Amino acid sequence: MSDRKRIYTVPVRFVFRGEFKIQAASKAQAEEYAEKHCGLVLGGDIHSSLPDEMVNWDFPVHPEKIVGHGKVEH
């Protein structure tokens, strides 16, 4: 039996599920605002470029972790 170790590439996704509450004229406009003005940066914060009185958010601080099937690098 060999003690040689291999490097494995394991795909992992971190999924944050939550909601933005956005003041808008329609649901379509609210979705457009969320697409254009709301985001998350790893190591940063959930943010929006909309005025505070137009948006609020509710997201858990810990994501769902999804680990897929890996491949071996020789």
* DSSP secondary structure letters along 3-49: ----EEE--EEEE---EEEE--SSHHHHHHHHHHHEEE-TTS-EEES
pTM of the predicted protein model: 0.68
Confidence of residue 36 (pLDDT cuts 50, 70, 90): very high
C-alpha–C-alpha distance, residues 48 and 64, integer Å: 22
C-alpha–C-alpha distance, residues 35 and 37, integer Å: 6
State the Cα angle at 29 between 31 and 50, rounded to 5°: 80
Summarize pLDDT for 1-14 with one digit per residue, the tens.
678 888 888 888 88
